[in-house]
Structure 1
Amino acid sequence: MFKVRPLCNLIQRNFCQWGVLHENLSVDESLIKYFGCHPAKKFLRGEPVRFGYKNWVATSSHGYCNTFDIYCGKSANASSDSPKVKFYSPICKEHIVYFDNFFTNYQLPHDLRLQETRATGTIRDNRTKKLLSVKEMKKRPRAEYDYRFDTKNEIAVVRWKDNNVVTMGTNFDKIEPVGKVRRWCSTRRQKVNVNIPGLFVNYNKGMGGVDQMDHIP
């Protein structure tokens, strides 16, 4: 990919020059469709576009691309991989960054807080500690949640039961005020309002910019 790196760098500079950074930024993976032969081409099972170049993208919550990085394999220095702090740092100060569980671990929100970056992301079950297990949460009624707050690192981790159990970590957001979402109730045979922690409400509003960018013709 070294042949197109100068073009990619030029495009990113123009994106940042003419694009006004939205307060909410979402970071996710995207796929540039390509069916030819190239060592950087990837196959993603279950995606609408299965063959192409994997791309790490940071967009506004409305779908404007701010920066991107084409994935060419794992870095020799794992601590400097593009999906981590190095990728966020050029654009994210004074903004709120949202990402999914591919990127998030317990340490990442702490590292971003040290860079004065507010961040929230879903976390995989095996990356959290001291919360009720997913197995236990599945036995609870819908809308139940469990949380822990790390006072030393100022990180909050919340596990909430919706249709599935979802775990989220944040370095700035809160559970309250609790919001409402509409969900189907099988016993009452209709949709009802259920409680949702505040950080989940904000995450749903801020995340999804990369998907919107992919839908642009």
Structure 2
Amino acid sequence: MPIKIKDNLWQVGGRGLTDPSDAAVYLVLFDDKAALIDAGSGRDHSQLTKNIAGCLGSNGQLEYLLLTHCHFDHTGGAEAVRDEYGCKIVAHELDAVYMESGDNRVTGAARHKAHFKPFSIDIKLQGEESTLSIGNGTVTAIHCPGHSPGSVVYTTYLDGQLILFGQDLAGPLHSELLSDEEKYLASLERVANLNADLLLEGHFGIIEPRREVDEFIQNCITPAPQPCRC
């Protein structure tokens, strides 16, 4: 059963909701159009779709799947979601190459004893920032490299609050995942300056209010990144 975070915003996947290997999956609804943030590993697609259906209702349409980065626990289920809903998959071009080629090492699939099945990316983000119109709302994609070359955070406003989808802000960093510590720390500083009211993280869940969001991000900057959960 999905977790309602606030009006038009839910967690639909992740530990306790779908397969334990899934990173958190979030859904945001703008009028009758929705975006899914990440797709989990794909190991519990049937339960994920049940949770999504509980949020979309009879009239909602899943228009976009917004991928934060290429790692298997966030993207292994992406193609199944697109096949199910006909949505467009969005990712930064610097990570798209590893999903489209099915790179087991850089995607971290090998760490999950899985084979990464390649799939195409419909919309490849470029540069530092892009904006997507979804229903009666907008989502901003901000390139935040470090955890992976093409890591992205997404932001939107709901009821006057800045919502930050910041998957894997706590790392980890690994050379085989093409992590870059200098870029990672610079990205964290950029994210900190957003002053988000609500952080939705991939492995640490729902973090609010703003004071706790700020504290979480500062704890990611120092000390070192958390042990690998990718």
Using the size of structure 1 for normalisation, the TM-score is: 0.30
Report the structure number with the largest CA radius of gyration. Answer: 1
User: Does 1 or 2 have the higher relative contact order (CA < 8 Å, sep 6+)?
Assistant: 1
